[in-house]
Homo-oligomer: A and B are copies of this chain.
Amino acid sequence: MKLRDLGEFGLIERIKQVVASDSPDVLIGIDDDAAVVRVGRSTLVVTTDAFVEGVHFRFDYFSPFELGWRLMAANLSDLAAMGARPLFAVVDLAVPADADAEEVTDLYYGMREIGARFGVRIVGGDTTSSPGRWFLAVTLLGAADGGRYALRSRARVGDVIAVTGWLGSSRAGLELLTAGGGRHRAEPVLEAHLRPVPRVWEGRFLVQRAGVRAMIDVSDGLSSEVNHLCRLSGVGAVIEAARLPIRPVVRELALSSGHDPFDYALHGGEDFELLFTIPPEKWADLSKRWTRHFEIPLTAIGRIVRPERGIVLLTEQGERELLPGGWQHFRSNTDAPDACELRPGERP
C-alpha cells in the first residue's frame, strides 16, 4: 500500500508493530509526544523531530537562524508536554555543497539561542551533503525528575481541559508571511510562527507541582490534539468555542483574509502550547497560582466527558462533532494541499 493511501498514522501503527518491545526499561514507546526509558536510576525522556525543506519550511520565510530555532522549539515542546527537564541534543544535517557555511552556523546559533534558555547543550551530530534539499533532525534528551511525567492517556471523566497561551497565532503568522504582509506589523503572530517559545517551564510546573492528568502539545492543531488525547484516554470531550484563547490581532487577520478565526484556533497547528486535563478541585487551585509563576494566560476550554458523548464543540449555533483538522503527513489533508506540494511552513 502506498503511503499516501495509508497516511501517517497508519504508517506509525505498522512501525509500532515492528519495533514493539516488552523491555521493562521502555516505560513509554511510540505512543506519546516522547519516549520514556529507564537508564540506571534515571528516567529519561527522548524525542526527535525531522524538518525537510519544501515540506516543513522554505527559506523564503525562514532564515537559517529561525529554522534552527523552530526545530529546536518543536523538540522542546515535545519534552514540555511530558513535563521533562531538557538536557542534551544531537543534530543531523544534510545540506547541499553550494550552501554557505554562514547559513549552517546561523542554523546552529538559532538552535543554541532557544535551547540555551532551557538548559539544552548540543553535544553531537552528523553533517552530510545532500543532493538537493536541506534535511534536519534534532533529537533531544530530557529528565523526568522523580520519575514523574505526563502522558496523553490519563484523562478522566470530569477533568477540566485547559490550554496555555494563545491559539491560532502561528497560523495567522503564516498567513501574514504568505500574503507578503512583511515583517513590520503584527509582530507577536510572526514571532509565534518564526520564533515560537515552547512551554517547557510551564509543562514542568504542571507535572511537578499542579497534578495534571493528561497532557499533549498543540503542534498539529487543537482539534487533532483533543482527538488524540481522548482516543488514548478512552474518553470524550466538550470544548467551548467561546472560551478558546484567541488574540485580537489573530481574529482581525483571519477575518481580513476571509478566514474564520475559530478555524485558526482549532486547526491551525504549530502553536506549541500545552493542552492538558486536570481534576476540577486542582484546577481551582492551579488557576489561582498560575499568574504568580507565568505571564502567559491559562484558560479552561472544556471538560472531559464519557466516551459515548463523543468529542464535541459547543458554539453559538449549537453543538457539532469536533473532527481532527490538523496536518497528517503523506495524506491529502482537509485544509492543506498534498504533502509533496505543501505550502512552506505549514507544518512542523
Chain A positions near chain B (C-beta within 8 angstroms): 1-4, 6, 8, 10-12, 14-15, 18-19, 21, 23, 25-26, 29-30, 34-35, 37, 39-42, 44, 46-50, 52, 54-56, 87-88, 90-102, 104-105, 108-109, 112, 121-133, 135, 137, 139, 141, 143, 329-330, 338-340, 342
Contacts and interface: CB of A to CB of B under 8 A. Distances in A.
Nearest to A1: B101
A3 B40 contact: no
Contact of A340 (B49, B54, B88, B131): B131
Given A35-B123, A48-B139, A50-B94, 17 more contacts: A4-B98, A6-B101, A15-B105, A19-B122, A35-B124, A37-B123, A39-B141, A44-B141, A46-B88, A46-B123, A48-B91, A50-B92, A92-B139, A96-B340, A97-B339, A129-B342, A131-B133
A218 to B, nearest CB: 17
A55 B131 contact: yes
Nearest to A2: B98
A11 B329 contact: no
B1 A37 contact: no
B52 A105 contact: no
B37 A130 contact: no
B101 A29 contact: no
Nearest to A99: B3
B3 A101 contact: yes
A49 B102 CA distance: 23
Contacts of A338: 97
Contacts of A104: 3, 11, 14-15
Q: Which 3 A-B pairs have the closest CB atoms?
A: A129-B339, A35-B123, A35-B124
Contacts of A26: 88, 121, 123
A143 B48 CA distance: 20
A326 to B, nearest CB: 14
A345 to B, nearest CB: 14
A132 B52 CA distance: 10
A124 B30 contact: yes
The residue in A1, A10, A12, A48 that gathers the most chain B C-beta atoms within 10 A of its C-beta is A48
A55 to B, nearest CB: 6
Given A92-B137, A93-B50, A15 B127 contact: yes
27 contacts: A2-B100, A3-B97, A6-B101, A10-B101, A12-B127, A15-B104, A15-B105, A15-B127, A19-B123, A21-B121, A21-B123, A23-B121, A30-B125, A39-B42, A39-B44, A44-B141, A47-B90, A48-B126, A50-B126, A50-B135, A52-B131, A97-B329, A127-B329, A129-B342, A135-B135, A135-B137, A137-B139
